[in-house]
Structure 1
Amino acid sequence: MTAGVKAGDELPPLTIPITRTLIVAGAIASRDYQDVHHDAELAREKGSPDIFMNILTTNGLVGRYVTDHFGPRAVLRKVAIRLGAPNHPGDTMVLTGTVTEVDGDTARVRVLGVNGVGHHVTGTVTVEVPR
């Protein structure tokens, strides 16, 4: 069993300032060169008030949130997320999580990321924590 972890456990919140640099760096790191992730003028032409974070950056932040909590031996087995309200520069996203199931060395965590507009990301992460 995952030592000391039980269904209903809450992970401490993680506050992430959404900076222009984070958005652009995440897009570059994931090789997502869509203009809406780095060019504010073109993003506005396409109906967005500014550039916005891509799903791969969000996915990485969700993974980091879970592995930071469970430690360096934690292995992500599945990350299933859905995006909602966009993350724009100047906003803050707060990630929270609740363990929903524990089976042996594996835990399932329900994750929610909220920003000033609403729910940016919702999903479930399956993480293995070897003994």
Structure 2
Amino acid sequence: MTAAEVGTELPPLSVRVTRADLVRYAGASGDFNPIHWSDRVAAAAGLPGVIAHGMLTMAIAGRLVTDWAGSPAAMRSYGVRFTRPVVVPDDDEGALVEISGKVTDIRESERGERIAKVAITATFEGKSVLGRAVAEVALPTG
């Protein structure tokens, strides 16, 4: 990580989510809701197609911050609101999720750590899929 200051923009991250990713995530999380794998069930639920798990989308966006920070252990807090689903087509290309972030504040914690607050933007087809996405990450000392 380079030196961080308010206004620092994190290197953007683009991730393709495929149906195979949904299967792997379902196995890891135990969330086998058929809206994440069945076009028929997704349509019956009023969805435009099979959708990615919200927590998978959140995890992908969080990776922007942990990659920048250099370690998942640097993450101190992370929260989002789910605003729109990521529709994952049944093809080899998948859905492209684009993530960016910007440092909006730096403060010192009670434990003496420098904590950066990062506002995260995650989009699919040009529309936001996460709202109020904010992470706090400990900055390296020195």
With normalisation by structure 1, the TM-score equals 0.88
Alignment of 1:62-81 (within 5 A): 62-72=61-71, 74-81=73-80
Aligned residue type for 1:107: A
Alignment of 1:102-121 (within 5 A): 102-104=106-108, 105-116=114-125, 118-121=127-130
Aligned equivalents of 1:73 and 1:117: distance in 2?
27
Structure 2: tracts of 5 or more residues without a match: 89-93, 109-113
Identity %: 28
- Once the two structures are superposed, residues 25-48 of structure 1 have per-residue CA deviations (whole angstroms, 9 ceiling, x without a partner) of 223322212111122221111111
The aligned counterpart of 2:96 is 92
Alignment of 1:1-131 (within 5 A): 4-72=3-71, 74-89=73-88, 90-104=94-108, 105-116=114-125, 118-122=127-131, 123-131=133-141
Higher Cα radius of gyration: 2
Aligned equivalents of 1:45 and 1:92: distance in 2?
24
Aligned equivalents of 1:94 and 1:29: distance in 2?
23
The 10-residue stretch of structure 1 (32-41 or 73-82) with the greater mean CA deviation from structure 2: 73-82
Aligned equivalents of 1:76 and 1:25: distance in 2?
24
Aligned residue type for 1:23: L
Alignment RMSD (CA, Å): 1.9
Deviation at 1:49, TM superposition (A): 2.3
- Once the two structures are superposed, residues 30-76 of structure 1 have per-residue CA deviations (whole angstroms, 9 ceiling, x without a partner) of 22121111222211111112211112112211221101011137521
The 10-residue stretch of structure 1 (52-61 or 19-28) with the greater mean CA deviation from structure 2: 19-28
Alpha carbons 1:99, 1:108 under 8 Å: kept: yes
Alpha carbons 2:54, 2:85 under 8 Å: kept: no
Alpha carbons 1:59, 1:79 under 8 Å: kept: no
Detail structure 1 runs of 4+ shifted over 6 Å in the superposition: none
Structure 1: tracts of 5 or more residues without a match: none
**CA, structure 1 residues 3+119, in 2 after alignment: closer, same or farther (shift >3 Å)?**
closer
With normalisation by structure 2, the TM-score equals 0.82
Aligned residue type for 1:4: A
